[in-house]
Amino acid sequence: MKKYILVLFLVEILLVSGVFIALTAEAQAEPLTITWWHIQTAEGEKALWQGLADEYMAAHPNVTIEVLSLENENFKSKLTTVMLSGEPPDIFQSWGGGVMNEYAKAGLLLDITAYLDKDSWRDTFSPGALGVYSFEGKNYGVPRDMGMVGFWYNKDLFAKAGIDNPPTTWTELLKDVQILKDAGITPIAVGEGDKWPGAFWWEYLAVRIGGQAAFDAAYSRKGSFTDVPFIKAGEKLQELVAFKPFQSGFLGATWGDEATLMGSGEAAMDLMGQWAPGAFADNSVDKLGLGKKAGWFPFPAVEGGAGDPADALGGGNGFVIGINAPPEAVDFLKYISSVDSQIAQAKLGLSVPVIKGAEEGLIDPLLKIVQQGAAAAKYFQLYYDQAMPPAVGSVVNDSVQGLFAGTLTPEQASQAIDDSAAKEIK
C-alpha cells in the first residue's frame, strides 16, 4: 500500500513538473526576432547593452531583440555547437581576424559591405579597426573597441627604485629590470599559465625587430616564421627571462593573478592591453587599483630592429552579423555603433572607441594615450592568436610558453609555429 502511494507521489511530481515546464516553454517566435549574443556579464555593461536594445525595441515595435549575455569561455563553447548546426545568432561578439575569417569562409557570416557603403556609415569608423572585421575585401562586422598593448607601470615603485623615466629602448628596459630587482621589487608581472599574456612579449619583439614586412611575408607564406626576425625575437625574450624578472610561479599564474599583483602594488610593470586598469582596480582591496600611481609607456624600440617604434600590437572587440540575420539586425548594429553609444561605452571603460568623436567619453587620461597610439600607428598588428587561424594562434601561445619555461629554443618555437602556419594558412 505504501509503495503505491510512493509511486503515485512520484508520478504526480512528474506530472506537475511537466505542466510547469510546458508553461514556461516559449510561445512561437514573433514575426521578427533578432538574437544578440554578447560577452559583457558585468552589471553596468550588461545594462548598457540591454538599455540600447530596449530603446530600439521601443522605436521599432515589430522587432524583438533577444539578448544573451555569456561568459567568455562559455560563449566560445556555445558558439562552436551553434556553428556546427550552421545557424549562428544574428549579432554576436567577435574579435575579428583569423577566427572570423574562418566563419566567413564557411559561409556563416553576412556580407554587410553594401550597408557600410550606404550613407557613409563606413567613414564613421577608424579604418584600421574596421579592417580587422573584413575578409577578402568584404565586411562582416564592425568594431566597437580597439586598443593597443603597452606597459602599465607603477610610478611609485619606479621612483622607489630610482628610475626617473620609463625605458625607451630594450637595453634600457633590461637595465631597469635589474635596478628594480636590486631594490627588491618584482619587476614584471605575467600570468603565463594562461599563455596569452606572455605571447604579447614575443609578438611585440617580432613587431619591433621585423616590422610589418616580416609578418606579412610569413603570413603570406612567401617567407616563414623561422625567418631571422622571429628567431631574434625568441632570443631577446629568453635574454629577458634569464634576468628572472617575473613573480614566483609565473608559469602557472593566471591573468587574474597578474592583475592582482599590479593592483596591489606588488609588481612594477605589466605588458597588457587596454582593459588593464579596470582589472587592476577590480582585483585590489580598495577597488582603486593603481589610480594616480599608474603610468603607461609604449613597448620600447629594439636596437637594430626594422620596425617603427610607433607600430602597435593590439586588438579589440566588435560584433559580426550571422548569415541568417534580417536587415533589421544590421540596422540595430548601426544603432549600437552610434557616437552616443560609444561615448557611453567609453565612460564605462567598456570600450576604447573606434568611432570618430567618441574619444571624449574616455575618462582615464592613460586610455586616451592608448587610443591615440592605436589610431596613429601605421602598422597595427592584431594579436597573433586572433590574426591567424585559431590553430596557429594556439601553437604560438603554446610555443611562447615553452620559451618562457626554457623547454624550447627560439628555433624550435619558430619551427613549431611555422609548421602549423604551413598547414593552416592556404
Show contacts with another protein in window 229-268 (CB under 8 A).
247-257, 259-260, 263-264
In the bound state with another protein, the residue whose beta carbon lies nearer, of 213 and 251, is: 251
Which of 8, 12, 55, 72 contacts another protein by CB under 8 A? 72
Residues β-bridged to residue 34: 65
Which residues touch 155 (CB under 8 Å, ≥6 apart)?
Answer: 293, 294, 295
In the bound state with another protein, the residue whose beta carbon lies nearer, of 86 and 162, is: 86
Report if residue 51 touches another protein, rule: CB under 8 A.
no
By C-alpha distance, which of 179, 349, 187, 185 is closest to 273?
349
Report if residue 66 touches another protein, rule: CB under 8 A.
yes
Report if residue 13 touches another protein, rule: CB under 8 A.
yes
For residue 395, the minimal CB distance to another protein (Å) is 8
Q: What string marks each residue from 93 to 122 as x (binds another protein by CB under 8 A) or -?
A: ------x--xx-xxxx--------------
In the bound state with another protein, the residue whose beta carbon lies nearer, of 278 and 326, is: 278
Report if residue 168 touches another protein, rule: CB under 8 A.
no
Rounded Cα distance between 300 and 304, Å, is 12
Q: What string marks each residue from 118 to 157 as x (binds another protein by CB under 8 A) or -?
A: ----------------------------------------
Report if residue 401 touches another protein, rule: CB under 8 A.
yes
Report if residue 71 touches another protein, rule: CB under 8 A.
yes
**SS3 sequence, 297-308?**
ECCCECCCCCCC
Report if residue 278 touches another protein, rule: CB under 8 A.
yes
For residue 194, the minimal CB distance to another protein (Å) is 8
For residue 346, the minimal CB distance to another protein (Å) is 16
Applying CB under 8 A, the site for another protein has a residue count of 79
Report if residue 27 touches another protein, rule: CB under 8 A.
no
